[in-house]
Structure 1
Amino acid sequence: MADLQKYGPWALVIGGSEGVGAAFARLLAADGFKLVLVARKPEPLETLAAELRELGAEVRVLSADLSQPAVLSQVRAVTDDIEVGLLVYNAGANNTRGLFVELPEEVTQSVIAINVLGQANFARHYGALMAARGRGGIILGGSLSSYLGSPTLAAYTGSKAFSRIFSESLWAEMAPLGVDVLHLNIGFTATPAMARLGMPVELAEPPETVAREGLENIANGPVWIVSTPGNIERARLISTVDNRAQTVRTHAIAPRDKTAEAARAQQKLAGESSK
């Protein structure tokens, strides 16, 4: 799946303790990669690391707060002596909704720090090392929300828009240097984070599908939209340049208690488009 010669020997998975990040780690371990897993919660990290070590993988873990300015230095402390050929930046879930001017500053600053500064700083550091070697890969986690602003999610949707445009630019810059860049654009995915928020994850895409599509398409950048039914159709629908006011009002991300209804509507849209 992932080319160990081009993207190995070590893969660094940011947000790599559960959900899509854990799925990436399992698939990469099966392909023979050595792994560095970084996430905030130590318990899931250690549990996953133990699982992967039992399968024969070499694994390093680091519990770190990805919203803090010193996080790159912390990660470098466990990677400067190894060759990281693949960066998977999977962190960036949002668990707080509210009006931007009313939310606590630390909440919105955390979202921006993880999705904007984190992606940029990690891509700069590890991307430079990959470019010097003339090989490597970077997968930056994205979202369908990057195509449309939504009320109560201003910082989140804005930061995801940065991620997508940043990925496209970085892809164009790094391709001549032998480094693949992919913005992995996901929709509704059945992660533990979504389950904790009470979302109807039985209607969502399994994390394993998302991670597999990312690894299978790392060389098919700059953007890959995960093939969940309705994802591509929704991206096209909300990308129109005409009458953005109406588009934002009509297609904004649904409140959590309307998520199941929105997921079914997206699946219906996919079915109608395939006819």
Structure 2
Amino acid sequence: MRIKPIPQGLLILLLASTGSAQAIVGGIDTSAFGQVSNGVQIAPNWVVTARHVGLGLGDTFSNGYGSSPVAARYNMGGGAFPLNDLALVRLADSINAPVLNLNASALGAGSSYDIAATIVTGRNQVPRGYAWSSVREFMPTYDEDDAGPMPPLDVNWLVTYLDGFGAPYVQGGDSGGALFLGQIDHADANSLLWGIASAQLYDEDANQQAINYRSGFVQLASYRNWIDSTMSTDLADGQMASWMISSVPEPAPQALLALGLLALAWRRHRLR
């Protein structure tokens, strides 16, 4: 399986050339996920996004509820994509939007899941801004050099796809978008934010053509301690993330028995 980052820089090039290329493949038009942009607003002055998204000091964050200059940015560690692809951004001005709850329940490694979820693009308006999919596996690490000298990278991806690996899936410009638990058609205070859009995943056929598209979202619960400590250490506003426990299943016993085989398969992954 190969992976492809969905960087925000690519969004600019695609929009400049086509005007509509940035959108979830197989998605539905929407303007009802106002908290979601090239990051997701989780408090009046705080946004969580993918670390590879270029949203830095002095830039302006805009979503469906307003806009604000970026006052501070915190990255989850260092290193190249896809390692720990998560960042927090503090806004200079508050944006009045319904506060989203973050899913505090973490999936364990496995590929036996089939949990309804909603994916929302990093710009969330038209065209094709959201779609219903399913979380099928949790991928905690990624081995970028096929079991070579480099250690596996922590990615903590929730991987979404439907039977047949067809649409919907994310593409360039969707970075920093959202994964919500369940099938929803708008984001309000009851919506449960599960992950942040990080990567497009796919296989290659015998002719090296991309097949079996999937989407990779960073599971926020895997980074709860970092999110909470980062926001509490920044004393600008005293705001904190709101977490809620949900009911998520454990991997089926047969999946747990197969983890060794999965680990061997992951060693064949390459970073494109």
**What TM-score do you get using the length of structure 2 for normalisation?**
0.31
**What TM-score do you get using the length of structure 1 for normalisation?**
0.31
More helix by share: 1
Larger RCO (CA under 8 A, 6+ residues apart): 2
More strand by share: 2
